[in-house]
Amino acid sequence: MIQIDNVSKSYDGKTLAVKPMQLEIRSGEIFGFLGPNGAGKTTTLKMITGILQPDSGRILLEGHDIVQDPLAAKRSFGFVPDDPNIFLRLKGVEYLRFIADIYEVPASVREDRVTRLADTFGLTDVLGDTLQSYSHGMRQKMILAGALLHEPPVWILDEPMTGLDPKSSYELKQMMREHADHGHTVLFSTHVLEVAEKVCDRVAIIDKGSILFCGTIAELRQHYSENSSLEAMFLQLTEGFEQQEQQQDSRTAAAENLPEEHKHG
């Protein structure tokens, strides 16, 4: 379970990347984080994983506060970043060994887990090669395998389908479903609305740091036309919000341009 309690984040103390956010991602569900580029999805995921520190509020992962009790919180999740270009000079097997050592995966299950994940993602033949020699998709799969190696109860995946071939993408979706069905939590961000529609139990649509909607796809449909595609609803929601923001901005600007006496008047 992930609890996000009144969390906000600004850059340079000025730009509010994430406005105060309240969210609970329950055990046993796949939760999709949707939004346009620069909406604040990655920033929120980075705060959840401890890469960024929130300005306010608190985040609990399986009951552990990521700021107060970071080591226990970090043990409870596996994270796949949006950019898989890390540890490029390690061989695949060296990377997985490092992750297994750090997360203290028992020796008795290591080899089996590595073999299983490598088979699932088609990495068996490349374990002896450096990540540098992998394609983007293969790097993504290797990082994914690393994130799942210690079998964490919470999966946090930033754009996990990017670069995956259809088979791996299908396998991952199946694994996400199985993980959630075992009572665990999956949180992932995506641009691909079809994936969200098919896989997610609930979604949150975020834009400019605010959650515009949080609920099931069915609930989203109740707000909009029953027959609308998720894409149409998404665009309606985000563009409507953009218009509201622009109107708000122009009202603020107009108020700032008024003579002093009118402002108080």
Given the rule CB under 8 A, which residues bind another protein?
Answer: 11-12, 46, 49-53, 71-72, 74-75, 79, 81, 83, 85-87, 89-90, 93-94, 96-98, 100-107, 110-111, 114-115, 124-130, 132-133
Two tokens at 172? Answer: 């991952």
Task: Using alpha carbons, select from 96, 93, 99, 100 the residue that is nearest to residue 128.
Answer: 93
Q: How far is the CB of 259 from another protein (least distance, A)?
A: 37
Q: How far is the CB of 101 from another protein (least distance, A)?
A: 4
- Residue count of the chain: 265
> With respect to another protein, which residue has the nearer C-beta, 28 or 122?
122
Q: How far is the CB of 27 from another protein (least distance, A)?
A: 20
Residue 185: CB atoms within 10 Å: 24
**246: part of which helix (H) or strand (E)?**
helix 230-257
Task: Using alpha carbons, select from 133, 186, 132, 142 the residue that is nearest to residue 163.
Answer: 142
Q: How far is the CB of 209 from another protein (least distance, A)?
A: 14
Q: How far is the CB of 136 from another protein (least distance, A)?
A: 13
> With respect to another protein, which residue has the nearer C-beta, 87 or 155?
87
Chain Cα centroid distance, residue 7: 15
> With respect to another protein, which residue has the nearer C-beta, 43 or 233?
43
> With respect to another protein, which residue has the nearer C-beta, 55 or 201?
55
| Phi, psi dihedrals of residue 29, rounded to the nearest 5° | -130, 155
39 neighbors 206 (Cβ within 8 angstroms):
yes
> With respect to another protein, which residue has the nearer C-beta, 149 or 200?
149
Which string of b and e fits 103-135 if b means at least 16 CB within 10 Å? bebeeeeeeebbeebbebbebeebbeeebeebe
> With respect to another protein, which residue has the nearer C-beta, 22 or 53?
53
Helix, strand, or coil here: 215? Answer: strand
> With respect to another protein, which residue has the nearer C-beta, 4 or 200?
4
* Sequence letter at residue 222: Q
Q: How far is the CB of 113 from another protein (least distance, A)?
A: 9
Phi-psi region of 151 (alpha: psi -120 to 50; beta: other; left: phi over 0): left
Q: How far is the CB of 46 from another protein (least distance, A)?
A: 7
